[in-house]
Structure 1
Amino acid sequence: MGQSISSTQFFLYGKKHFTQTGYLRHIQDYKDPVQKAAAIPLHHADADGTDLTEKVVVVTGANSGLGKEIATYAAAKGAKVYMLCRSQERAVAAKEDMIQHIATYDSSPSSSSSSSSLSSLRDRLHIVLVDVAELQQVRQAVQQLQKQESKVDALVCNAGVLLNERKETSEGNEATFASHLLGGSYLLSQLLLPQLKAAQGRCIFVTSGGMYNFKLPSWNVLTSAPGEKYNGVNVYAYAKRAQVLLAERLKETEPKVQWVTVHPGWSDTPAVDEAFGDQKKYLHPLREPWQGAEGVTWLVGTKRENIQSGEFYLDRKTQPKHLAGPFFTEGRYTKNSKSDVDELMKNLKKAAGLE
């Protein structure tokens, strides 16, 4: 009964809030300006007023979809951006595309200031090759970052996969769990804690409304251990619920850093195409990638006092974390106990090799 209620209400709530229609309605309530594109630079007439000059922003999965939009925005606002990507070829192509899109908003493309701006953009956009599902690669990427930066103002944990068939990493972890949670959220953020603390920065876990369907399951189910029945969509949703719980706990244990989860809504990205195929029609009207990313970029650039650490966001506003009760109330079906979260943190620490 609880599963039926949570799934039904998730879909109905999503059709109202997660679609493009929901986004267009939500931005009418924004108190601060909103941009129409990620690439609008700092001093453009249509900019939202955010200035990220001197800031360091790290974005995983930055070569496509939401990650590319987030990285483009941060670069356009003057930040030094580290693009954590799996493919050198795709990362280089994305970087050049980002630069060209930002350049199109320059009022004088042929001017010397424009050339200087393009050169500055190239200098501020850095590619770091890493598959965040591979723990050793995460460690190596962090070592590379730490050699170059003493602080990180914003870490956006966006990368991950949603697979229809079980796949293991070279280290024996199920790939969806490892990319979204173990490597791409937990280990990466824990290794970068010195830099995040130095900046009194923020860590943003890009999660999914799919987490509304479930509470955190047992460790074996969460990790899709051998012998467990595999359902790729469920495994993805479990990892996303775990991100929400992770942010809540890290708010308490690492208060110098702000920890939030954010839902980009139902956005038209390559990842959605790959995961859902023809079934994505049920999520229409899908948001454009920038419409999904905009609420994430607000969390990157807004003032510290505007963020409530430990909370779950959509379109610049905190959201309920549970919808399993009657008439969209919280209910109890998707809630976990403190001991459940204690166990999660203990197991993540062990699995990440941080004991």
Structure 2
Amino acid sequence: MRIFHGFDSLPRFECPAVTVGSFDGVHLGHRAILERLAAEARRDGGESIVLTFEPHPRMALGRAAGMRLLTKLEEKIALLEALGADHVIVIPFDRAFAALSGRKFVEHYLLGKVGARTLVAGYNHRFGHDARDSRSLADTPGLRIVEVDERVVEGDRVSSTVIRRLLDRGERAEAERLLGHPLHAAGTAAILFDPMRTTALRERLAALWEASVRATHTFLTDRDVAELTPCVREAVAAVETLYVAYDGSRPAAFMGTEAGKVELLFVAPEHFGQGIGSRLIGIACERGVNRVDVNEQNPAAVAFYEHMGFEVFERTATDGQGRPFPILKMKSNR
């Protein structure tokens, strides 16, 4: 992904599909917009471009008293990249820019500077100082406008304002449920809760699993790996909750949990020792996950879970498929 600051020296984009917004928090409502953006770009064989603001418009206009930002700019960009944006344009937001009309912004910047072919907008997004909605701009020549409906999760509206109110009330877990990722997690990897389990993602995670086990599960033969790979694809598709950590747009690690147990946790070899596995386990434990099965023949994994506070409470001579690979059942007492 390429990042541009301002509109000077932009390249010529290929059939760009664009979206515009503060994207504070990059929450599940934003994710719906970004998924549609990616789909529209693919439809036209083009590129997806996110235009966002720095600082937040409310801060630039002196209307941010008491407002907390959900993500810093670098966190926001990492999440946008993890969600598949091809490019991000960071707009320096000031009073002069705020004075633009919605029509002027669309015609001069989206069309004139970016060359937008498709504009993907949230149902309540407004453009310019005159607060033009996307429907009022539908007559713009050369621009197709796609509106994305409000995102509701289990009956709850998703918005940055709703999430801030939850945090103000101390309801962090509920806020993170609507965000779809941890709040202000330390480290460089962006972690997404339950991304769309597309065929492409399942294949990428299966490839990550294979690289990881070849580096750590030296007791597995090539035949074992080949036989287990389809099971991993199925597990990724079926596990109750999936977490994926990204390095840019590439998965760096993933974890699957179900019924209080870690069912899958694998880190790409190039990311060993960077703390990503610890972050994932920490997130799981915060959500009541406290059990895991570990191959006894993988001492590094056993040591990792012991370091994270897990203890062995049972041993079996075979794994879940009846193979002669001893399993240590471990439980956290946190």
Scaled by the length of structure 2, the TM-score of the pair is 0.26
Instruction: Give the greater-gyration-radius structure (CA).
Output: 2
More helix by share: 1
More strand by share: 2
If asked which structure has higher relative contact order (CA below 8 Å, sep 6+), I would say 1
Scaled by the length of structure 1, the TM-score of the pair is 0.25
